[in-house]
Amino acid sequence: MKKLLFPLRPVLLYSLFILKLFAEGQTPALRSEVLFTRPEGSFFESIAMDSKGVMYLTERSEHLIYRIQPYGGIQAFAKAPQGASLTGLAINAEDQIYISGKNAEGHEAIFHLTDRGSLHQIADLPQAVFLNGATFLPDNRLLVVDSKIGAQTETERGEIYEIDLSNGKVRLFFSHELLGKESAKNLGFPAVNGIKFHKGALYMSNSERAVILKLSLDQKLQPLHLKVLANNLVGDDFAVSPDGRLFIATHAMNSLVELDPSTGKQRNLAGQQEGMTGSTAVSLVQHGKSPATLYVVTNGGSYIPPESGVEPAKLVRIDLQSHEVPVQSRKTEASP
């Protein structure tokens, strides 16, 4: 069994047990299919889909980016430089792909992935601890969060950084204690994790605090007001439907959860039986008039092993069927 990268405090393990009991409920019968696997110990971290339906996955243990064509062709498309690692993915309206991670010098960084499979660093963030989820604003500004994984000191606030793609300059976009950790003792658990833009607001998960957050933006897409949408929900990355519902990979909870922010209602959609062991990220798409489909990546429980044991890392397709939601034709981004 693969060891945890960082130890989890007993109080956090107990909290995860309580949250699992809180979240358990009847799961609707949804069709699921495993499309791609890697051996036990592998770690699919993020998923993103471009406007042509091509999927990209980051794999942390192999430091690879996989590219999956709509017809099913799969290839190891790019590899991180020696000593570097890859984490979050974001694709803009021009299908340009950007990745958060760590460079060979050990600094957190942002990379651009070319259509030939080359990675070029565009920004260096030595002030960050662990860059994770990323998303684009409508004006093509790239935002990325710092999950503080492995931080050895008290981190009262968490950060969102803004990257200017034209020159690589970095500025602090937003900082708040709800984006940080309640306790620095939880070294291996992410603070703010996933981030998505939707209809004038940023949605975020904070795994360590087990909350889902909404940051309203003004007309100039600057921060206005932060509020908690849901408590007791250990979320990793997620997808947002056009009507505002969130489909959240829960990682440690080995499930996929639907959250309706307008009511606060949570519903389990899939669990380990559907391949959700160690679920890390979600992409939501629709093909023509077919039912909406979710694509979920997992690490098979390699980071936080379940009682049933570690499984291969997976890419799983889930057909929402009667739970169909309207989906925009453009891509949906996803990260850890």
Which tens digits make up the pLDDT trace of 291-300? 679 999 999 9
Q: What phi and psi values does residue 253 have, to the nearest 5 degrees?
A: -90, -5
Q: Which pLDDT belongs to residue 2?
A: 39
Residues 6+ apart with CB under 8 A from 54: 67, 68, 69, 70
The token pair that represents 133 in the structure block: 């989820």
In sequence order, which residues have a C-beta less than 8 Å from that of residue 118 and are 6 or more positions away?
Answer: 78
H/E segment holding residue 256: strand 256-260
For the cut 80, the answer to whether the pLDDT of residue 12 exceeds it is no
User: What is the reported pTM?
Assistant: 0.88
Instruction: Write the pLDDT tens digit of every residue in 229-283.
Output: 999 999 999 999 888 899 999 999 999 999 999 999 999 999 999 999 999 999 9
More confidently predicted of 116 and 20: 116
The tokens of 86 are what? 């890859």
pLDDT over 90 (residue 15): no
DSSP 3-state of 179: helix
Domains assigned to the chain: 10-323 (2.120.10.30)
The tokens describing 120, both together, are 């070029």
Average pLDDT over residues 214-219: 98
Query: What's the burial of 332, exposed, middle or buried (CB within 10 Å: 0-12/13-18/19+)?
Result: buried
Dihedrals phi, psi of 212, to nearest 5 degrees: -110, 130
Token readout for 218 is 């003004």
Structure-token match 């969102």, residue found = 160
pLDDT at 207 > cutoff 60: yes
Write out the H or E segment, with its range, that includes residue 317. strand 312-319
Average pLDDT, the chain: 87
What pLDDT was estimated at residue 31? 86
Q: What share of the chain is helix, strand, coil (3-state, %, to 5)?
A: 10, 45, 50
Summarize the confidence of residues 125-143 as an average pLDDT: 97
Residue 135 in this model has a pLDDT that exceeds 50: yes
**CB of 76 within 8 A of CB of 64?**
yes
Q: 167 vs 334, which has greater pLDDT?
A: 167
pLDDT for position 13: 43
Residue 327 pLDDT grade (very low, low, confident, very high; cuts 50, 70, 90): very low
* CA atoms of 169 and 173, how far apart (whole Å): 12
Percent of the chain with pLDDT over 70: 84
Residue 175 burial by Cβ neighbours in a 10 Å radius (0-12, 13-18, 19+): middle
Contacts of 287 (CB under 8 A, 6+ apart): 53, 293
- Residue 229 has a pLDDT of 96
pLDDT of residue 27: 56
